[in-house]
Structure 1
Amino acid sequence: MVIPHLTENYGASRDPPEKQAPMCTVHSFPHNIDHCLTWARSEFDGLLEKTPSEVNKFLSNQTEYVSSMKNAGDAQARDQLERVLECLDKERPETFQDCVKWARMKFEDYFSNRVKQLTFTFPEDSATSTGAPFWSAPKRFPRPLKFSTSDPAHLQLVMAASILRAETFRIPVPEWAKNPKKLADVVSKVSLPDFEPKKDAKIVTDEKATSVSTASFDDAAIIDDLVAKLEVCAKKLPPGFRMNPIQFEKDDDTNYHMDFIAGLANMRARNYSIPEVDKLKAKFIAGRIIPAIATSTALATGLVCLELYKVLANGHKVEDFRNTFANLALPMFSMAEPVPPKVIKHQDMRWTVWDRWTIQGNITLRELLQWLKGKGLSAYSVSCGTSLLYNSMFPKHQERMDKKVVDLAIEVAKVVVPPYRRHVDVVVACEDDDGEDIDIPLISVYFR
């Protein structure tokens, strides 16, 4: 039961995290199709959603983005910048043929070169430090794939990858892209560089043995170099250039999302001699679909109706409602009272997650901070959506102090305010007089 001001909100409690395979298993030593699909889904998100989103963040506010990367100064920031630079420089396509070339080279990298590197680093007769065979169960020794335009699965994967790549760069997809014969002709003309395995390649074999990466002098120097290249690259881009991040949608059979993920997973399965799956089974696993039966649905519907009577009657206390946990397979039925929302106290004020603070008038950022100061709260961060309007750590943000909060939301966060909307919501992070963080309600600035 989730009832405003009476119970906790939906996000206050969470299900226990799902068991996940170690990343070294997923990346280098898969031994079932679930591992292959987890890897494929991760590659989809990285290539088609996260990296294009990072590119757009950089292009929207280069100064702020660069500053945050330099402040982080670690291997993760470096890796992020490298991917952004690849998208905008070496790998930025201008035609659909460029997208086909990228897809073909990805195939070679994923299913041939990486496997050759892995088996070069750990040959089939490798042994562990204890003398046991390295490639013992559950590890499977992989074999590289040789691309063939006569293999429908190879061609289907290149087709899906090319179309999605074109979509992220807003490049029109020609009619011939979906014609296997014509696509095969274009793919066969892609020239590939020879692969040479690296003798010093580092491949993680034990998740427990890895340590958390920390910032180093090398990382900082490389980040500075990447930033300089990015700034030069940004000047060469067409005016207003932005990428189109793609969010995974499993239920549209025409968007090529599942074709791409199933194709990646099945090619990886071929590398490791793992049985392949059809697109429907891949959708089930990658989309984390939990099948339901009619009796479960009927049970949930009946319980909802029982609680709905109480809601409609009004005047009921939290103790009158029930949360229900049921498992027909065991069977197990358990009912409990909902938990009231957490009450936060500060000076003579009280609030919960359901409350909102409202400010009338188109105030400036400085006036907002002063308004909070009057409540004994020191604000150090103001954000709108996913964008940061103000942070006390950034000296440049001091220049925004006399700008209207609504104008900043439109300018920085790209908020579109329809004519009927009279307010903009901002999230503010605050400390009390003792320097302790304190969660405050969402603030609505009414400017009309």
Structure 2
Amino acid sequence: MFHDWNIGQAKSTIAASAAASINSQLKIEALQNCVGPEIESVFNDAFWENLTVAINALDNVDARLYVDQRCLYFQKPLIESGTLGAKCNTQMVIPYLTENYGVSRDPPEKQAPMCTVHSFPHNIDHCLTWARSEFEGLLEKTPAEVNACLSNPVEYATSMRNAADAQAKDNLERILKCLDRGKCETFQDCVTWARLRFEDYFVNRIKQLKFTFPEDAATSTGAPFWSAPKRFPHPLQFSAVDPSHLQFIMAASILRAETFDIPVPDLVKNPKMLAEAVEKVIVPDFQPKEDVKIATDEKATRSAGSVDDVAVINQLLLKLELCRNNLSSEFRMKPIQFEKEIFCSYYDNWWKNFGLRLDDDTSFHVDLIAGLANIRARNYSIPEVDKLKAKLIAGRIIPAIATATAMATGPVCLELYKVLDGAHKVEDYRNTFANLALPLFSMAEAVPPKVLKHRDMKWTVWDRWVLRDNPTLKQVIKWLKGNGLNAYSISYGNCLLFNSLFPRHRERLDKKVVEVVREFAKAELPPYRSHLDVSVACDDNEGNDMDIPPISTYYR
């Protein structure tokens, strides 16, 4: 399917073209939409209702869960599949016969302790985890916090006072630092910020760490503190002739400029001119601090707020108020989300002669993360990695293996025959798991869903009860009463539409459900939606609470 000449094209476009070359009668439209609630105007009710079967080939869990919920809601078969390196799996999700994909979840991945990542890394994965965290903190989370603060300062200040914890204090300190000492108005300011970041990360923090824990430091038991796997670090000396140092400055300053909406000048295309801009930066001398606390406990967690935190938060809010008065009311920052898959070579020609390669990342996201990780690795004498390896680790990319993909495709197609043939029992379907590296091949019967019962009624997670012809609230309650269920509360989302304890709610009984939702829930129902779901709390005639499916009322 994919060839060298397809690089840069959308995968869906290539797949559609390949399928059409096999069968010219196939009618297929290639789209590049994210899979999620935001595209329900495209994949609307009519789309799902007219679907025969969904076949997933998605690359993230959130998208899988979304399609799973849509198939569950519209009672459509789903063939779920995935690959992870040499591993592959398929799962059958068949209406009323099997459990759905979202019932079971993989355990969370094990992560390195934060103290190891922040202060005592001993492999490149730790350095890249730290680099990704710093990227998100500096370029995504802090600008987003700034915008939240500037958009609604009163509400934001109230939320910080209510939280009154160390996290709130950290947020305010980062906002102040960004808008006060770190505020950038020119690209030279961005270069200065990047140069001072280098000094902070790779010089001052290492000097402070060595000051707090000298090379001959010992633990409480008398054992050497700097024993394996800990690596004793060494501060670096910035050099404008070191390609990796200058590449870090370039990527950091360009991205910083992007967050402040500052144009990037041509000097970034010229290493010599960029080096001259860096040389203009005045770097303060470092002075170690006696009272700095550096976490060493792998099980330690963030402590709760204290009285001191509350006092500091109030002081920070006062400073922030003064700082905000010096900004225009329209000032906002641009948060940057890490993007690992942007390919181009815009700056490549200018930098090749300097020994740098910027082959595939005009966003400079991977450049910055690779620079952060590799220079930090140099602090700790950890072997460095190239940008491709950095992209794979930081982006959590596990290379696809064509054999594993083919292995998953086989069971998917075999099970698809069963779905299209219909009239099968749950034991006829198979879930598959394979690990080609072992090798391990396992096939198991699909698992049926949990069944709930009431009188002669049965339902599972697959069910929703449908009432057509635009019913009123009274008609919904009467229909449930006829099935031995006494409804005492009806809700739409977080809005209470009806409760039997409230006398004034009885005035709503003769209104259509859709009218009550529009009037009291203030819901704007899009034109592509033909029904809405309400949640009903009810009990049986013996007073036992019953957990019933959602009720879909069709108004179109």
Which TM bucket (shorter chain)?
0.7 to 0.9
Task: Answer yes or no: is the 8 Å Cα contact 1:24–1:206 preserved in 2.
Answer: yes
Structure 2 distance, partners of 1:96, 1:342, is 61
Structure 1 distance, partners of 2:334, 2:254, is 13
Task: Answer yes or no: is the 8 Å Cα contact 1:33–1:265 preserved in 2.
Answer: yes
Tell me if 1:33 matches 2:141: no
Q: Describe the SS at the equivalent of 1:289.
A: coil
What's 1:153 paired with? 244
Structure 1 distance, partners of 2:250, 2:191, is 7
What's 2:84 paired with? none
Give the CA deviation at 1:236. 3.1
Give the CA deviation at 1:350. 7.0
Worse overlay, 198-207 or 61-70: 61-70
Tell me if 1:89 matches 2:180: yes
What's 1:276 paired with? 384
Query: In the alignment, which of 394, 397, 417 is matched to residue 286 of structure 1?
Result: 394
Tell me if 1:118 matches 2:226: no
What's 2:115 paired with? 24
Task: Answer yes or no: is the 8 Å Cα contact 2:370–2:387 preserved in 1.
Answer: yes
Task: Answer yes or no: is the 8 Å Cα contact 2:92–2:429 preserved in 1.
Answer: no
Q: Describe the SS at the equivalent of 1:295.
A: helix
Query: In the alignment, which of 374, 383, 390 is matched to residue 266 of structure 1?
Result: 374
Task: Answer yes or no: is the 8 Å Cα contact 1:353–1:441 preserved in 2.
Answer: no
Query: In the alignment, which of 250, 260, 276 is matched to residue 169 of structure 1?
Result: 260
After TM superposition, the structure 1 = structure 2 runs for residues 38-437 of structure 1, keeping only pairs within 5 Å, are 38-208=129-299, 210-252=300-342, 253-316=361-424, 318-339=426-447, 352=461, 369-371=495-497, 373=499, 405-406=522-523
TM-score using structure 1 length: 0.78
Structure 2 distance, partners of 1:93, 1:8, is 54
Structure 2 distance, partners of 1:349, 1:373, is 26
Q: Highest CA radius of gyration, 1 or 2? A: 2
Structure 2 distance, partners of 1:47, 1:144, is 22
Amino acid at match of 2:328: P
Structure 2 distance, partners of 1:188, 1:235, is 33
Give the CA deviation at 1:21. 1.5
Give the CA deviation at 1:314. 4.0
Task: Answer yes or no: is the 8 Å Cα contact 2:248–2:368 preserved in 1.
Answer: yes
Structure 1 distance, partners of 2:428, 2:297, is 51
Q: Deviations over 1:260-292 (max 9, x none)?
A: 011001100111111111111111221222223
Task: Answer yes or no: is the 8 Å Cα contact 2:92–2:430 preserved in 1.
Answer: no
CA separation of 1:366/1:14 partners in 2, compared to 1, >3 Å: closer, same or farther?
closer
Structure 2 distance, partners of 1:166, 1:269, is 26
Give the CA deviation at 1:324. 1.3
Let me know the Cα RMSD of the aligned residues: 3.9
Structure 2 distance, partners of 1:331, 1:375, is 63
Q: Describe the SS at the equivalent of 2:497.
A: helix
Task: Answer yes or no: is the 8 Å Cα contact 1:96–1:174 preserved in 2.
Answer: yes
Give the CA deviation at 1:55. 2.2
Give the CA deviation at 1:130. 2.0
Give the CA deviation at 1:166. 1.2
Q: Deviations over 1:342-372 (max 9, x none)?
A: 67999x99774886999999xxx99973316
Give the CA deviation at 1:427. 12
CA separation of 1:370/1:128 partners in 2, compared to 1, >3 Å: closer, same or farther?
closer
Structure 2 distance, partners of 1:113, 1:426, is 58
Structure 1 distance, partners of 2:452, 2:200, is 53
TM-score using structure 2 length: 0.64
Give the CA deviation at 1:101. 0.8
Give me the identity figure in percent: 65
Structure 2 distance, partners of 1:230, 1:424, is 47
Q: Deviations over 1:357-392 (max 9, x none)?
A: 99999xxx999733164699xxxxxxxxxxxxxxxx
Structure 2 distance, partners of 1:118, 1:178, is 36
Q: Deviations over 1:326-356 (max 9, x none)?
A: 112222222234445667999x997748869
Q: Describe the SS at the equivalent of 1:56.
A: helix
Worse overlay, 419-428 or 303-312: 419-428
Give the CA deviation at 1:156. 0.3
Structure 1 distance, partners of 2:501, 2:428, is 36
Task: Answer yes or no: is the 8 Å Cα contact 1:344–1:352 preserved in 2.
Answer: no
Structure 2 distance, partners of 1:249, 1:124, is 39
Q: How many residues align?
A: 406
Task: Answer yes or no: is the 8 Å Cα contact 1:36–1:265 preserved in 2.
Answer: yes
Q: Describe the SS at the equivalent of 2:442.
A: strand
Q: Describe the SS at the equivalent of 1:161.
A: helix
CA separation of 1:342/1:104 partners in 2, compared to 1, >3 Å: closer, same or farther?
farther
Structure 1 distance, partners of 2:430, 2:393, is 33
What's 1:380 paired with? none
Q: Describe the SS at the equivalent of 2:327.
A: coil
Worse overlay, 327-336 or 217-226: 327-336
Amino acid at match of 1:93: C
Give the CA deviation at 1:33. 1.1
Give the CA deviation at 1:296. 1.2
Amino acid at match of 1:370: L
